[in-house]
Structure 1
């Protein structure tokens, strides 16, 4: 019988409990989202948000929304580790600049196509 992503009675703690050096209970809120074989995933989340805060956030959410919340938390934590000042905003800003440059390039190319079509006719 499986529960919370771990076998009942299994001694192997999830990545969160392993990092926090505590016993991983059957109802561990972290176990389904932070498997033991992905320790860096929780390490970054813990470094940026703290285990207690993440625990509180997850406890306040319905179970069906927790997976998406963990994905967002992990993404933001990884972005903060890479860029402590801007985090996700830095990535979004960089992507927006790329979009703007590509839109400008597309507009110039479209204008050139219109110009060249005048010579073909």
Structure 2
């Protein structure tokens, strides 16, 4: 006997073999179901599962679950705040990489060839 999925458990009903929520909300993922239910109308999620092309349903559901989990962790920023932080990190790493490239150019121009890294006045700001 298998346990009811989190969606059926929430609705106090038996989970059937054709339950559209079972693949995405197994019995041990009640919190994820609660997050989705809190941030997305569950009837819209069901429509998404039913109406979307089968090849895209898994991707859509993963996105819905991730977005609702992030919103639960950070109600104001959600995924957007994480994206902003990652963009800042990319910019910082790009600046570091540019500094390394510039140092290599300077070393080559001086005929050093040994790639001795000079200490930068910029330092590590990231």
| Correspondence 1:73-92 to 2 at 5 A | 73-92=64-83
1:4 equivalent in structure 2: none
| Residue 11 of structure 1, CA deviation | 5.9
CA RMSD of aligned residues (A): 1.8
Q: Quick one: distance in 2 between partners of 1:92 and 1:79?
A: 11
1:25 equivalent in structure 2: 16
How many residues get paired? 112
1:99 equivalent in structure 2: 90
Q: Quick one: distance in 2 between partners of 1:63 and 1:14?
A: 20
| Residue 32 of structure 1, CA deviation | 1.6
In structure 1, the gaps of 5 or more residues are 1-9
1:41-81: per-residue Cα shift (whole Å, max 9, x none)?
A: 21211111132221122121133322111111111111111
Q: Quick one: distance in 1 between partners of 2:12 and 2:53?
A: 27
1:13 alignment partner, one of 4, 15, 19: 4
1:5 equivalent in structure 2: none
1:61 alignment partner, one of 39, 52, 61: 52
| Residue 21 of structure 1, CA deviation | 2.2
1:70 alignment partner, one of 48, 61, 73: 61
Larger radius of gyration: 2
More helix by share: 1
| Residue 84 of structure 1, CA deviation | 1.4
TM-score by length of 2: 0.78
TM-score by length of 1: 0.80
